[in-house]
Structure 1
Amino acid sequence: DFDADGAEGLEYAHSRSAAMAQRGDGSSGSSYTGIEIAPNVFMLDKSMVYDLFGGVKVAAVAGRYDALSYEDASALGKSCAKTNGEVTEDDVREMKDCFDEMKKRDVIDIFLCRDWPAGTLEVHGREIGREAKSASSTGSPVARALALALSPRYHFAGSHPFFFEREPYINAKSDPSSSPWVTRFINLAGCANEDSEKWMHALKIEPGSTIDRALLCKIPPD
């Protein structure tokens, strides 16, 4: 059995990083696929758009949102934010730069971020609990802005200790025709949590960039 949480997992990650360095694999750019911490398990450690799994595009932002740290543009503030695992304006700018470099027909299939986006449940069609309402009202404006800009097909967060899946919605823009496909927002609970809340989610997904636009933009019944 492979113990990815223990010394064996760390040793494996270090060996893979060393192998990548010897091959000259870059730590950035479209060919970068993150750090392999176990066989076929990758940590997406940089804020960028990853081109994975035969064309599936995954946007990832590393770090949690803190309003004071995010607004501190000084070199010391950015350094402290990185040390504390907090997202910075540089992270967001790097993400947007990657997105702007994508081809016109390319689609962000999955957006990964720690924080629940602010206002996710301002408009919804289902009965929701108090925890989800609180998470939406106190969520991250950065995650919200990125979700609006990226219009991902799936948006995953993990800042709250419960599983939640919002009904599909369309990220409204000034030009709705630019990305009329739906987004599915999902919050996953902490890994192996004691409350048995769902913390893994499998997807069978075809790259959105290869799907016929009419099919991609079809509004699902659920």
Structure 2
Amino acid sequence: MPAEEIEARKDTRILVIGKVQGKIRPLFEKISQYRNKIDLVFILGDLFDSKTSFRQDTIDDVDALIDGNITVDIMTYVVVGDSPLPPKVLQIVESSAGQLASNLVFLPKRCFLKISADGLTVVVLGGRLNPKTVGKMANNYTPYYSYDDARTLKGERNVDILITNDWPAAILTRSVYQSVEIDIKEQECIADLCSSLKPRYHFSSSDAFYQREPFVHSDSVSENTEYWMTHFISLADFQNEAGERSSFAFVHKPANAGPVLLSTISQTATSSPLSLVGSKRKAGASQESSHRFATETRHDRRANKRQKVPPVTTDTCFLCIASPRADTHLIVSVGDQVYLTLAKGPLITRKAFPLLHFPSHMLLIPLGHSPSIAAMSPDDRKVVYLEMQNYRRALQKMIAIKSNSQFGAITWEISRTTGIHAHWQFLPVPVEHIRGGTLEAAFKTQGEMDRYPKFQIRDVGDGSEEHTDFFRVLIWHRDDSGTDSERSLILPLDGSFRFDLQFGRKVMAKLLNLYDRADWKECEQTKSEEDADADAFKAAFEPFEASLAEESA
């Protein structure tokens, strides 16, 4: 979901409303009363009541929204709740980046929203936890999320608002308001997400209204120290029969964002209840596996430690072209030392960049089985690196010509002596992200957030002179005069930190606002779709494949 940007004041007036359950006309009549008083509205899900989705009055309301006969006077965002969207609504929002009508946008169940350049940042995780969320259940608007969905959002920083359908586990702990009769669903992964993001406000849904004392993200507090503080608020359904509070209004002041001094914090504030969640869980383990391992006997654990992963051979390596595991139907070109293939579960689809008209998330892979180019013999390394570069230049030339230089490209590589099979990933990028420095900044910023060492600006060639493993990013574009420009970023992988093997893809998914495609396993295509993509790419690349022979000559 693209980060929506609107013209907003430095102080943004926000109204959050609980689940609507089909009360569409009363809702927007109420919202219209706040015209000129509120800048943004967030609805916590279930705009349409699934129990009445086939009633004629509900169908009429849906049509009225789509046709503009129900006016939405204030920019309104709707979060995924418990119920699936009506088929007609789903079809529209999936093809229109979530927009159903003027000023009415349905947010994907997992998304990051930025409103105004220096203003509001919002993270959303809608739906209910279902660890088996795969296939069709994993699309943008189904009311289910997975552990991976929650983990993917944890890298965000400086978040003003977190919206989740489930409550964070242990949120009532350390509160004087623990005796609440509310039917809630609380999850440890939501507690972990809130602890990681440290939002100023965390909104959720429940049968009745609940507002916890604010809490600081620390187990203990001391004077003259700054702390991140969160207000947790859960809203009841809109126009509920019990008359429970269903809306909350506040003003977002960018000047007040960030940590606050203890002396300015309300005396009712508590230390974080979330720090108690999973304290006995092994760091980095998923909730699913922590529960599974908790049932093992001591003998089971000792047995697991003795198990060794068998070495990957040319028969079992899925990147070896002769391996039975290789997806050979994705291969689009084979050279003397290198072959070119479409990426499995591509980050971008053929439709992502209309100017190109062909799939373009590519892998450049040496034919020989080696963990890295640097690990090859000097003779092999020389010819393989040369042909890898020739393929990359041919791809870049194709991108520049096909897009009239409106696209550049990025190539990234993880060079590790413990790797399985060397490869480079190639992706076209809108040139404005490159010329303005946004692409380079995205890698540096994410690296800082992940507490990696700083990137270095240098060219390491075939990597044979490096004393450590490394992660490499090659950023290329062609300017209006036809001159090529390239910049090389290097992150040494010296073993002092744990590097995320999906780092490159995750950075690009965030930059291109493709959060739902950060995990390749969620982007797998059918065999017929992959065959069609391979044919489309071969047709586009054929004129440029001939230049490979010229480069090698």
CA distance in 2 between counterparts of 1:60 and 1:173 reads 26
Q: How does 1:180-199 map to 2 (within 5 A)?
A: 180-199=227-246
Aligned-pair identity in percent equals: 24
Q: Is the 8 A contact 2:209 2:235 kept in 1?
A: yes
Specify the SS of the correspondent of 2:65: helix
Distance 1:41 1:141, change over 3 A: same
State the 1:181 CA deviation.
2.3
Letter in 1 for 2:230: T
Q: 1:148 to 1:63 in 2, by over 3 A?
A: same
1:173 Cα deviation after fit: 7.2
2:252 and 2:186 mapped to 1: Cα distance?
27
* TM-score after normalising by structure 2: 0.29
Q: Which has the larger radius of gyration?
A: 2
More relative contact order, 1 or 2 (CA 8 Å, 6+ apart): 1
Look up the match of 1:30: none
SS at match of 2:229: coil
Compared with structure 1, are the counterparts of its residues 187 and 38 closer, same or farther at alpha carbon in structure 2 (3 Å cutoff)? farther
Q: Which one of the candidate residues 128, 138, 144 is aligned to 1:82? A: 138
Query: 1:6-61 deviations in whole A, cap 9, x for unaligned?
Result: 122244579x969x95xxxxx5xxxxxxx344553433224122101552000101
* 1:40 and 2:91 correspond: no
Q: Which runs of 5+ in 1 are unaligned?
A: 22-26, 28-34
Matching residue's letter, 2:211: E
Report the CA distance shift for 1:141/1:185 in structure 2 as closer, same or farther (over 3 A).
Answer: same
**Structure 1 pair 61–173 and aligned structure 2 pair: CA distance change class (3 A):** farther
Pick from 172, 181, 193: which aligns with 1:146? Answer: 193
Q: TM-score, normalised by structure 1?
A: 0.67
Moved more, 83-92 or 210-219: 210-219
Query: In 2 relative to 1, CA 149–50 (structure 1 residues): closer, same or farther, beyond 3 Å?
Result: same
Q: Counterpart in 1 of 2:121? A: 57
Offset, 1:148: 0.6
Task: Name the SS for the 2:144 alignment partner.
Answer: coil
Instruction: List per-residue Cα deviations over 1:72-116 (Å, max 9, x = no partner).
Output: 4xxxx412643762111332233134x1xx5xxxx2110000011
1:117-196 mapped onto 2 (5 Å cutoff): 117-124=168-175, 126-132=176-182, 135=184, 139-158=186-205, 160-172=206-218, 180-196=227-243
Long gaps (5+) in structure 2: 1-23, 29-47, 49-60, 69-88, 269-553
Secondary structure, counterpart of 2:181 in structure 1:
helix
**SS at structure 2 position matched to 1:51:** strand
Q: Give RMSD over aligned pairs.
A: 3.6
3-state SS, counterpart of residue 204 of structure 1: strand
Task: State the partner residue of 2:164.
Answer: 113
Q: Distance in 2 between matches of 1:64 and 1:95?
A: 16
More displaced 10-residue stretch of structure 1: 160-169 or 88-97: 88-97
